[in-house]
Amino acid sequence: MTMPTSSPTTDDSLRTSIFYIYVKINGHTCKVIVDSSSCFIVVYFEDILVYNGARDSHLQHLRQVFEVLRQEKLYTHPKKCSFFTFEVTFLSFVISERGVSADPKKVCAIVTWPRPSSMHDIQSFIGLATFYRCFIWDFSSITSLLTDCLKKETFLLIEVVEQAFNQVKALITQVSILRLPDFGKVFKVACDASVIDIGGVLS
């Protein structure tokens, strides 16, 4: 669901003050409404995502959300709303019953990125690719050659740097789907460090 930005009542402080708990989505701070058992809504500026595993409880939660919006005199844009879908794109992630994956449009933008010819090109590419770093194993090590370019006074695209650039583009097309954890199973944490980066794996 999307609220119109032109509405005089939809300033950010009001939009967020009607929700109760802060959560993080890819570095963005959001707030969520909670009931007695679970969270079921995520809000980011004008975008509202309501999720649930069962139709009946989903209907109940939708009524609850619309009631809050009505009380706060906030209105949704009907043409920008979709209901009872099994897949939705939210904050450049595709969320489905299978898990979370990268938005194909963003992936296409990374894959078709032209050969960098300046430090600004490298910086922009790293910024875009970093958005999906959670999908790429050993991302920091792979991009270390690219980030090292930004530390030099003059730009020079040597072969190993171009190989790292192309490797990131290749890996982004092979990203897997991130699934929600099964809290009924045992979790293991493995940590490692090097002069380049620090890493941890939760399995």
* Predicted pLDDT at 184: 82
Q: What is the pLDDT of residue 32?
A: 53
| Among 177, 93, 189, 175, residue whose Cα is nearest residue 136 | 175
pLDDT of residue 41: 79
DSSP the chain: -B--TT-TT--HHHHHHT--EEEEETTEEEEE-B-SS-B-EEEETTEEEE--SSHHHHHHHHHHHHHHHHHTT----GGG---S-SEEEETTEEEETTEEEE-HHHHHHHHTPPPP-SHHHHHHHHHHHHTTGGGSTTHHHHHHHHHHHTTSSS----HHHHHHHHHHHHHHTT---B----TTS---EEEEE-SS-EEEEE-
| Structure confidence at residue 167 (pLDDT) | 93
Q: Report all structural domains of the chain as residue ranges with CATH numbers, in order of start.
A: 19-91 (3.30.70.270), 102-174 (no CATH)
pLDDT, residue 30, reads 54
Span 103-130, average pLDDT: 91
pTM of the model: 0.66
Q: For 124-179, what is each residue's pLDDT tens digit?
A: 999 999 989 888 888 888 888 888 888 887 777 788 888 989 999 999 988 788 88
